[in-house]
Amino acid sequence: MPTIMPNELENIARVLLQGSGASEDEAEIIARHSIKSNLAGHDSHGIIQIPTYIDRVKRGHIVPGAEYEIIKDTPTTTVVDGHWGFGYVVTERTMKTTINKAKSSNVAAATVYRQSHIGRLGAYSVMAAEEDMIGWITADSGRSAKAVVPFGGKEKRLGTNPISIAMPSDLVGPFFIDMATSAVAAGKINLAKARGSGIPNGWIVDRDGNPSNDPDDLDVGGAILPLGADQGHKGYGLSSIVEIFSGILTGLGFGHDPSGRHNDGSFMAVFNVSAFRELADFKREVKELAIYLKNSETAPGFEEILYPGETEHRKEIAQLKDGIFVEDSTFETLKGLADELGVASHIF
């Protein structure tokens, strides 16, 4: 696998996206978010996704330069129709708006529908934390193809329905969660396929509902399990709530429409910490909580306890220095796209 420095990988993504019809601004935002996912160690949401986005542009499922339409607007809420635009662009803009509203109104929320894949949710919740706010975001895939079974079921009824919450703190790296409510994000299954590796027990079942370690089974009738293994009713319940926030509250809907296109619905909320207590005290105590957790005696097999978000922070520091590994199959796909789009001389 080649190792590519983050700025070079971001340039590859940006040039390919512009070659497929994205504007300079759109390409910059998508490339930045994608490579930040690689840096955080979430390769399933990184450069490997760029060919998928380009394919969706070709098929008309993503509309470069789409209108950003505010359907409803109050001092504390916003409803946005993304008109099938790039999800990264739509959601980043909406989160910025929500943060600004919370600065003046203390609490603000927004919903977005009809947009493409929005990538790693942690990027958006952390935007709020960096502004000394608590950030919250959920997402689902609307009425496009589903991947996750309800607890006890065999048929796919839900998306991976992620949720992310970030807290401002005095820590060097952000304190946040960013997780699918399924056993695994669908992108991690695709990453395993691209790297020719198996997957752990408890991630998926095959078409007959039997446990499987073969990532290929997902595309031939298999399904992802809800988070929690034998306690999967907890992940299933949480996923159902995310479906309501991101599918029903947005007006996007639920279920599967075979004729539909991929569509991310999202709900986001921002809370101004200073409306509840002194910001400096809150940030100090979040750091103290992290230290308190890390100072716990480790269980057998564990060398260290990390606070939520610390893994991503460490990976980013390391990969900014050493570069990002890209599997051969993805690298060859990127080169093939560059040739097809006539931009190879700009990036390779």
As a whole number, mean pLDDT of residues 165-171 equals: 98
Q: Is the pLDDT of residue 278 over 90?
A: yes
Contact indicator for 171, 287 with CB cutoff of 8 Å? yes
Band (92; pLDDT cuts 50, 70, 90): very high
The pLDDT of residue 193 = 87
Indicate if 62-183+225-276 has the same CATH topology as 1-59+296-348: no
Side chain identity, residue 60: G
Domain locations along the chain = 1-59+296-348, 62-183+225-276, 195-224
Chosen CATH of 1-59+296-348 out of 1.10.1530.10, 1.20.1050.10, 2.60.40.10, 3.40.630.10: 1.10.1530.10
Of the listed ranges 88-92, 186-190, 301-305, the one predicted with least confidence? 186-190
For 35-81, write each residue's pLDDT tens digit: 999 999 999 999 999 999 999 999 999 999 999 999 999 999 999 99
The pLDDT of residue 117 = 96
Q: What is the pTM of this model?
A: 0.94
Structure tokens of 119?
Answer: 């990538």
Structure tokens of 344?
Answer: 């190879």
Q: What is the CATH number of domain 62-183+225-276?
A: 3.30.1370.60
- For 330-342, the DSSP string reads HHHHHHHHHHHHT
The pLDDT of residue 145 = 85
The pLDDT of residue 1 = 66
Of the listed ranges 146-160, 232-246, 273-287, the one predicted with least confidence? 146-160
The closest of 77, 21, 1 to 341, measured between CA atoms, is 21
As a whole number, mean pLDDT of residues 109-118 equals: 96
